[in-house]
Structure 1
Amino acid sequence: MAQHWDEQYDVVVVGSGAGGLTTALTARLRGLSAIVIEKTELFGGSTSRSGGTIWVPNNLYLQEAGVEDTYEQAKTYLDSTIGDRVPDSLKNAYLSKGSEMVQYLYDHARYFKWEYTPKYSDYYPELPGGLAAGRAVEAQLFDLRNLGEDINHLRPSGLPTKGMVLKSTEFHKVNMITRTWIGKVKALKVGLRLIRTLLTSYKPTTLGEALVARLYASLKAVEGEVWLSTPFNDLVYENGQVTGIIAEKDGQKINIQARHGVVFASGGFSHNQELREKYLLHPTSAEWTLASEGQVGDVIEAGVKVGGKIDLMNKMWGTPTSAPPGSSAFMPVAERSTPGLIIVNHNGERYINESVPYHEFVDKMYENNTENASTIPSWIILDKRVKNRYLIFGIMPFQSFPKVWFEEGYAKAADTPAELAEKIDVPPENLAATIESFNTFATNGVDEDFQRGKSAYDQYYGDPTLKNPNLAPLNKGPYYAMPVYPGDIGTKGGFVIDESGGVVNKEGGTIKGLYATGNCTASVMGETYPGPGATIGASMVFGYAAATHMAEKSDP
Structure 2
Amino acid sequence: MTTPAWDAEYDVVVVGAGAGGMAAALTAKIEGCSVLLVEKTDRVGGSTAVSGGAVWAPLNAQSARVGHPDTFEKAWTYMRNTVGDAAPAGMQQAFLRQGAGMVDYFEKNTAVRLVARSYSPDYYPDRDGAALGGRSLDPAMFDGRELGPKFKELRDPLPEFMVLGGMMITMTDAKHLLAVTRSFTSWREGVKLVLRYFSDRLRGYHRGTRVVLGNALAARLFKSVIDRGIPYWLDTPLQKLHLVDGAVAGVALLHEGKATNVKARRGVVVATGGFPWSEALRGEQYPQPTGPWSMSPQDNRGEGIALARDAGAVMGQGHTNPAFWAPVSILERADGTVVRYPHLVWDRAKPGLMAVNGAGRRFVNESTSYHEFVRGMYRSHETVPTLPAYLVCDHDFMEKWGMGLALPGGRPRDHLLKAGYLHKAETLRALGDALGIDGAALEASAARFNAQAEQGRDDDFGKGSTEYNRYLGDAEHAPNACLGALRKAPFYAVKVYAGDIGTAVGIACNEQAQALDAAGRPIPGLYMAGNDMHSVMGGEYPAPGITLGPALTFGWIAGRQLAQAAVNNDRSTSGHP
Gaps of 5+ in 1: none
- 1:114 is matched by which residue type in structure 2? L
1:430 maps to which residue? 441
The SS at the match of 2:84 is coil
- 2:419 is matched by which residue type in structure 1? E
The SS at the match of 1:514 is strand
Closer, same or farther: CA 494–187 of 1 in aligned 2, 3 Å: farther
1:328 maps to which residue? 339
2:265 maps to which residue? 259
Contact 2:392-2:494 at 8 Å conserved across structures: yes
2:86 is the alignment partner of 1:85? yes
1:402 maps to which residue? 413
The SS at the match of 1:52 is coil
- 1:502 is matched by which residue type in structure 2? Q
1:52 maps to which residue? 53
Measure the CA separation in 2 of the matches of 1:60 and 1:168: 24
1:11 maps to which residue? 12
Gaps of 5+ in 2: 572-577
1:222 maps to which residue? 228
The SS at the match of 1:495 is coil
The Cα of 1:186 is off from its aligned counterpart by 4.1
- Of 435, 454, 470 in structure 2, the residue corresponding to residue 459 of structure 1 is 470
The Cα of 1:508 is off from its aligned counterpart by 1.5
Contact 2:66-2:134 at 8 Å conserved across structures: no
Measure the CA separation in 2 of the matches of 1:547 and 1:196: 38
Measure the CA separation in 2 of the matches of 1:391 and 1:347: 24
2:37 is the alignment partner of 1:41? no
The Cα of 1:328 is off from its aligned counterpart by 2.3
Contact 2:63-2:134 at 8 Å conserved across structures: no
The Cα of 1:124 is off from its aligned counterpart by 0.8
2:236 is the alignment partner of 1:235? no
Measure the CA separation in 1 of the matches of 2:3 and 2:114: 46
* Residues 114-123 or 496-505, more deviating: 114-123
Closer, same or farther: CA 190–402 of 1 in aligned 2, 3 Å: same
Measure the CA separation in 2 of the matches of 1:64 and 1:156: 33
- Of 441, 446, 458 in structure 1, the residue corresponding to residue 457 of structure 2 is 446
Mapping for residues 2-401 of structure 1, pairs under 5 Å: 2-109=3-110, 111-133=111-133, 135-160=135-160, 161-163=162-164, 165=167, 168=170, 170-171=172-173, 173-174=175-176, 177=179, 185-186=185-186, 188-200=188-200, 201=203, 203-286=209-292, 288-312=293-317, 315-326=322-333, 328-333=339-344, 334-370=346-382, 373-393=384-404, 395-401=406-412
The SS at the match of 2:396 is helix
The Cα of 1:165 is off from its aligned counterpart by 4.7
- 2:53 is matched by which residue type in structure 1? G
The SS at the match of 1:500 is coil
* Residues 469-478 or 62-71, more deviating: 62-71
Closer, same or farther: CA 479–175 of 1 in aligned 2, 3 Å: farther
Q: TM-score, normalised by structure 2?
A: 0.92
Closer, same or farther: CA 429–2 of 1 in aligned 2, 3 Å: closer
Contact 1:122-1:134 at 8 Å conserved across structures: no
The SS at the match of 2:146 is helix
The SS at the match of 1:337 is coil
Q: Deviations over 1:201-230 (max 9, x none)?
A: 572110111110000001110111221100
RMSD between aligned alpha carbons? 1.9
- 2:238 is matched by which residue type in structure 1? F
Pairs aligned (count)? 551
* Residues 96-105 or 190-199, more deviating: 190-199
Closer, same or farther: CA 545–187 of 1 in aligned 2, 3 Å: farther
Measure the CA separation in 2 of the matches of 1:178 and 1:189: 8
The Cα of 1:167 is off from its aligned counterpart by 5.7
Measure the CA separation in 1 of the matches of 2:78 and 2:396: 39
The SS at the match of 1:452 is coil
Measure the CA separation in 2 of the matches of 1:178 and 1:134: 30
1:534 maps to which residue? 546
Closer, same or farther: CA 265–238 of 1 in aligned 2, 3 Å: same
The Cα of 1:60 is off from its aligned counterpart by 2.1
The Cα of 1:315 is off from its aligned counterpart by 0.5
Contact 1:178-1:389 at 8 Å conserved across structures: no
Q: TM-score, normalised by structure 1?
A: 0.95
* Residues 150-159 or 342-351, more deviating: 150-159
The Cα of 1:505 is off from its aligned counterpart by 1.3
The SS at the match of 2:63 is helix
Closer, same or farther: CA 387–2 of 1 in aligned 2, 3 Å: closer
Contact 1:165-1:206 at 8 Å conserved across structures: no
